[in-house]
Structure 1
């Protein structure tokens, strides 16, 4: 009899385990159930990460673009690219670059020196960008962190004003838990603080669909902040409210291991003009 009771107990445990596994499998099929496992580590975001997820990778423009006649090729990179072969990019026609410097107030690009200085050393005009996380600290606080860790500007003719990368939240709610007016306030605090620290209005990098959703298509930054638009298609498409033209267009992404390619809306002299302020 004891053996029989033990057998029943083991059999019962087996049934319980089977039932639990079945329940777990069912839960994992529910919408959002696996989202926690898909959240990337803080600091790993890269410019265009949300664009790839929401709009796809796209391809090189095929024509029909309402821009200036000449476009100047540029790239943006982050720690995902590691040590960049800048000479190879220069020889392919790339003349300007943006390098991720910071994210939130908790991350600094470990490859920043090689990327920022390396692009400069081959002759490129370069700048740095900050990946915004409006749900972690204030806009002014993040602007200070950015400037203090590679986001500054100097009138040397080779340094572009810093760029605020404001796009889909890879770590949680699309709009970082902010109302549209709250998001506008956060961005305003960042750009005002950046200008106070550097004397330059930062570039704003975003996508029109995100901007509409999360700022209510606010047009108040268009008169001061150059627009860097992200859209992976054959044309740049609709711009956010207020901006009548874009300064830069991120037109395709090869993913975090290769980097993204961009057009500057004008010839090389226009890139120099932005650098000189």
Structure 2
């Protein structure tokens, strides 16, 4: 019997020694350069936002950075904001008191999303005296331009000549869900945009505003110059100057200059005094 106990103790000691060797080897592997841990390896879901959560300027931040506030003196610029569901219920009185006089609210994305805060944001800005409008986040890889334009108009993107409603905006920028040009050729992208703006005008009588960034426009449309005479430009550039504009536009109508302005939303300059904002609203 004593010999049997001695043998069991030897076996246990051997197993413990083997376990210790294995743990030491694992520890060494985790300290080697390039060794990954669970925290270092986000899932694919974590890398991409949820469908519907895209916001105006999301791609600008990711690709061009946040930049800084405009420098120098800007002549006859009217302050505005753009908001989405990320801002929730907005305190419009605070924004009005800070000098904001116009606002755009995200209405739709693709043909699968409507902003649950749209009514509070769209009507709330109007009720405090702002000139307001709606924007559509385009996803050219999901449905046609005409289909998305109709969806936009049917879910808040329409226009009425009341002096306080701006024409709808096509937000066309980097794809937060995949390939930056949505898998389209430059010619295919131009065709998709043309399909959207033509349908929007047929439905509302107004030319849609195009929101984009020069770098994206250059890459994904080949810097197409075919929209500058019809569609007002809302350019995104988070820097102290507006920089080079996309081809076809000699000037910008609106400039989104920061994603981190005071209070809520992205902040923008309208290229003109308040009467010019009203003129755009009236068509």
Deviation at 1:14, TM superposition (A): 8.3
Kept in 1, the 8 Å contact 2:82–2:267? The answer is yes
- Partner residue of 1:113? 119
Kept in 1, the 8 Å contact 2:30–2:36? The answer is no
Which residues of 2 match residues 14-163 of structure 1 at below 5 A? 34=42, 36=44, 37-63=46-72, 69-163=75-169
Summarize deviations over 1:103-125 as a string: whole Å, max 9, x none: 01111000000000000000000
Relative to structure 1, the CA distance from residue 28 to residue 105 in structure 2 (aligned partners, 3 Å threshold; closer, same or farther) is farther
SS in 2 for 1:233: coil
Deviant stretches of 4+, over 6 Å: 6-22
Give the number of the structure with larger relative contact order, counting CA–CA contacts within 8 Å between residues 6 or more apart: 1
Relative to structure 1, the CA distance from residue 229 to residue 20 in structure 2 (aligned partners, 3 Å threshold; closer, same or farther) is same
SS in 2 for 1:262: strand
The number of aligned residues is 269
SS in 2 for 1:144: helix
Cα distance in 1, alignment partners of residues 152 and 159 from structure 2: 11
1:213 aligns with 2:215: no
TM normalised by structure 2 equals: 0.86
Relative to structure 1, the CA distance from residue 35 to residue 64 in structure 2 (aligned partners, 3 Å threshold; closer, same or farther) is farther
- Partner residue of 1:188? 194
Kept in 1, the 8 Å contact 2:82–2:105? The answer is yes
Kept in 2, the 8 Å contact 1:252–1:262? The answer is yes
Summarize deviations over 1:92-112 as a string: whole Å, max 9, x none: 110000000000111100000
Kept in 2, the 8 Å contact 1:102–1:146? The answer is yes
Deviation at 1:55, TM superposition (A): 1.8
TM normalised by structure 1 equals: 0.88
SS in 1 for 2:105: strand
Deviation at 1:20, TM superposition (A): 11
Summarize deviations over 1:140-164 as a string: whole Å, max 9, x none: 1110110000000001111000000
Structure 1 unmatched ranges of 5 or more: none
SS in 1 for 2:104: strand
- Partner residue of 2:257? 251
Q: Which moved more, 1:7-16 or 1:84-93?
A: 7-16
Q: Which moved more, 1:157-166 or 1:48-57?
A: 48-57
Kept in 1, the 8 Å contact 2:29–2:35? The answer is no
Cα distance in 1, alignment partners of residues 19 and 135 from structure 2: 60
Summarize deviations over 1:152-209 as a string: whole Å, max 9, x none: 0001111000000001111111111111111101101100110011110000000000
Summarize deviations over 1:3-47 as a string: whole Å, max 9, x none: 99x99999999899999999xx75789xxx757231010111110
Q: CA RMSD in A?
A: 2.6
Deviation at 1:53, TM superposition (A): 1.3
Cα distance in 2, alignment partners of residues 199 and 18 from structure 1: 68
SS in 2 for 1:196: helix
